[in-house]
Structure 1
């Protein structure tokens, strides 16, 4: 077994700090509490509750969240490598059962020269002194985490960084965080640097990674860093964070889950958490967002729709990375009809809308629906249903039903049937045990001999909008040459629904023959 498979990732959430500081309107204490409660439900092991030195509001929020935090969650606060910041964090999180002071400074050549404007030796000294001071305040009760800001930019002075980290660990830092503060290169370049740090520092040192998503690869970088020894994964809900955001917690958790890693989260809470965060942040979920986006379960091409339909309900889908229920999504895969779609989409959409349909009927509907999609784009479900109701239940053709009326209630009911065929009117009567048999008898008397093979009837309930309370009939008819057809009818009257189904079948047979379609025989 791979060593990584034996380790459990430690999810350290930074939504309330990194995510919050990137909002146009940062959260107040009550709003932070809502997010914090979702994190508790989700099961994250560590939460960075804020930057208590940034404002009185954030200090109060950090202090409050530390006071209500469950005993099993690490509560952390961020501080620059400055005494006053470190004091603020220590004061804010003192009531937590597992407090952690997280301090940081940049060790990259660029930042030391142009931002800090200090010599490397001086920056190293600041880092070591900050860790010592934090450790003196937090004591044995808590922990100290140190971050090498801009670690991703430290490839040219990595030896200096590693030497500095060894001193920082000796000074009392139990967690070393390696941030990709600005994503500038491919994941494996960063991962290679992480591996070097892991190999050098003491084995009991927890290595963390904190990746930003400037080039869209934060999830990949974080996941691959875990496999080279980083245990603490710093992520945010919905990927919130500065600029293009931080590593998305949902994506990392699901990726590791798919790699058979023991993910210590209640993943069924992911979707509800995502929705809550979107509402609280006023940042809508992007429709193409992996896992949680509206389109994440959508299929529009015919090939994908066919595969999705054939693997529906299975744990592994033809075109999805997980079963939606894993992350708490109750909605099934969405099949949207566009000009790229086909019969499977029609069949699934109509079936899910609550109407009966066969795959052969779906094939017949495709040209009309596709023509609309080519003009409009993706079609609303109701548009597809409207085409279905029109073309299946109101089949145009040479046969036209004019009147069907009961004449008497003898041993065999007698009905009058008035209809036209190619403009010629027929006025005939028929007998039978009911309207269906009488209609077929009347047609036979007029020279149109059909045989009933199968008959079903159902009421279209109120749950299907637009045609509530209609009776729906499906009839399998056989003609003199053995050809069989499935036909449907609907009407508020049961008897009229039956007769309409027969006439729809007659027109359908005629239309299919004219189109050169081969018709099955009984």
Structure 2
């Protein structure tokens, strides 16, 4: 665990020291430049850790030597070996401490010089040599060849572990790390959620699950990571850092196991492996998600309704699906509460003499609100329009013209069934007719439509009451 850069600030020093004193299990590593005071500070921060490591680095590419350290290759090589030797001397009295060295910007370092630096720092006492792809420059074939070249051209390479540290500037950090493993790297420096400088570092969860999922390909390679902790630790890091995980992030993103396409949902319902190569429970997710959207099919809707406790026949499903699509077209995703509202309407359904087909509203501060409704009747769709004291009142009057029943509204309530700007609203109302008090309910993302549905629901109930005498 690389805990920090102790020389950078008193706060960083204290943080690394506390981690070294309190965290048990992993090696606690402190970062330093090839500068004696850096290395001393790094050691003082971690010297009490049961397992300690000093990680020192210097740029070895022509760009870094020419524009940052302003040193020759010969001076850079001397600085690297002196730093490793000094770090090793500090570790000698410790029961379990070692030194790691990184030739920064290795991806743009001349190969012959890179081989020379790796060989010399291993000879000076580095037991881990990390090959940083500092700016994400190389593509996987190049980076794989670079690691292969080190394994073939550094005589004492077997005396150290070759590590890699890849950045994601071109989105290749994980791919470069995986090919490096194939070519001989045995340590991958990575981060939870791929966090890191600029575009980030290699994502721990992606490397772990690539190796675990493709055992047929990676064969003898493995990690000892407890995969069930991946999602919980991802969430904890996200909360602590205040950095949200992008929804489409592999493995730990909110959409990683969410299926919205009707074809995919149908496949998942029939067999999870049709569209998932990882069992979500294996990494700490509770289950896959079927995100009900306008692209969802009847099978996905029936499946979710069944999970919610609703069993519907084919005719009922057709009606519910029609309502579902109207809601889905207005919302990004239909939630369980939306389905509950839709089903509540359907369960309450009585013989529908009248049904709302469409509704249009014209309203404003300087015009009379006008509502036009299209009502399905046994003779087809009948359209009427009316003005009123607001669009809801206008809707009720327009409906009254179609049904030829005038009701006295005595109670009207609205509540939000779901959350957000696109929430479903449910209207409950009471109307009076010759001593009868009748309730009506309607739900929609449009409150005027929900009101019209509730009024028509009350009208249909009244017709049923009258027919029953």
Residue in 2 that maps onto 1:65: 19
Residue in 2 that maps onto 1:164: 117
Paired residues for 1:125-204 under 5 Å? 125-139=78-92, 141=94, 142-154=97-109, 157-201=110-154, 202-204=157-159
Paired residues for 1:466-477 under 5 Å? none
Paired residues for 1:87-102 under 5 Å? 87-102=40-55
Q: Which of 206, 214, 219 is residue 251 of structure 1 equivalent to?
A: 206
- Range with greater deviation from structure 2 (357-366 or 49-58): 357-366
Query: Structure 1 residues 364 and 204, CA, compared in 2 at 3 Å: closer, same or farther?
Result: farther
- Rounded to whole Å, the distance in 2 between the matches of 1:395 and 1:341 is 27
- Rounded to whole Å, the distance in 2 between the matches of 1:183 and 1:62 is 27
Residue in 1 that maps onto 2:274: 318
1:126 is paired with a residue whose SS is helix
**Contact residue 122 and residue 159 of structure 2 kept, 8 A:** no
- Rounded to whole Å, the distance in 2 between the matches of 1:359 and 1:107 is 70
Shift of 1:194: 1.2
Residue in 2 that maps onto 1:54: 8
Residue in 2 that maps onto 1:292: 252
- Rounded to whole Å, the distance in 2 between the matches of 1:93 and 1:213 is 29
Shift of 1:364: 4.5
Q: Which of 145, 164, 169 is residue 209 of structure 1 equivalent to?
A: 164
Residue in 1 that maps onto 2:59: 106
**Contact residue 34 and residue 58 of structure 2 kept, 8 A:** yes
Shift of 1:199: 2.4
Query: Structure 1 residues 399 and 173, CA, compared in 2 at 3 Å: closer, same or farther?
Result: closer
Residue in 1 that maps onto 2:269: 309
1:81 and 2:34 equivalent? yes
- Rounded to whole Å, the distance in 2 between the matches of 1:95 and 1:251 is 33
Q: C-alpha deviations, 1:66-97, integer Å up to 9, x for none?
A: 12232x42111000000000001111111112
Residue in 2 that maps onto 1:368: 323
Residue in 1 that maps onto 2:235: 275
Q: C-alpha deviations, 1:189-244, integer Å up to 9, x for none?
A: 11210111122332231000011111222111112211111101111112111111
- Rounded to whole Å, the distance in 2 between the matches of 1:299 and 1:94 is 50
Paired residues for 1:122-521 under 5 Å? 122-139=75-92, 141=94, 142-154=97-109, 157-201=110-154, 202-260=157-215, 261-312=221-272, 317-330=273-286, 332-358=287-313, 361-391=316-346, 393-394=348-349, 396-397=351-352
**Contact residue 143 and residue 179 of structure 2 kept, 8 A:** no
1:73 is paired with a residue whose SS is coil
- Rounded to whole Å, the distance in 2 between the matches of 1:135 and 1:297 is 47
Query: Structure 1 residues 422 and 52, CA, compared in 2 at 3 Å: closer, same or farther?
Result: closer
- Rounded to whole Å, the distance in 2 between the matches of 1:114 and 1:135 is 29
**Contact residue 347 and residue 358 of structure 1 kept, 8 A:** no
Query: Structure 1 residues 193 and 394, CA, compared in 2 at 3 Å: closer, same or farther?
Result: same
Query: Structure 1 residues 217 and 397, CA, compared in 2 at 3 Å: closer, same or farther?
Result: same
1:265 is paired with a residue whose SS is coil
Q: Normalising to structure 2: TM-score of the pair? A: 0.71
- Rounded to whole Å, the distance in 2 between the matches of 1:338 and 1:242 is 36
Residue in 1 that maps onto 2:396: none
Query: Structure 1 residues 385 and 190, CA, compared in 2 at 3 Å: closer, same or farther?
Result: same
Whose RCO is larger (CA < 8 A, sep 6+)?
1
- Rounded to whole Å, the distance in 1 between the matches of 2:302 and 2:378 is 32
Q: C-alpha deviations, 1:149-199, integer Å up to 9, x for none?
A: 111112xx1111101211111111111100111112422211210111122
2:237 is paired with a residue whose SS is helix
Q: C-alpha deviations, 1:273-297, integer Å up to 9, x for none?
A: 1111111101122211211121111
**Contact residue 335 and residue 348 of structure 1 kept, 8 A:** no
Shift of 1:126: 0.7
- Rounded to whole Å, the distance in 2 between the matches of 1:318 and 1:363 is 27
Structure 1 runs not aligned, ≥5 long: 1-46, 401-420, 424-465, 468-502, 508-522
Structure 2 runs not aligned, ≥5 long: 216-220, 356-376, 380-424, 427-459, 465-469
- Rounded to whole Å, the distance in 2 between the matches of 1:368 and 1:52 is 61
**Cα RMSD for the two superposed structures:** 2.6
Q: C-alpha deviations, 1:437-481, integer Å up to 9, x for none?
A: xxxxxxxxxxxxxxxxxxxxxxxxxxxxx99xxxxxxxxxxxxxx
Q: Normalising to structure 1: TM-score of the pair? A: 0.64
- Range with greater deviation from structure 2 (201-210 or 100-109): 201-210
- Range with greater deviation from structure 2 (215-224 or 164-173): 215-224
2:196 is paired with a residue whose SS is coil
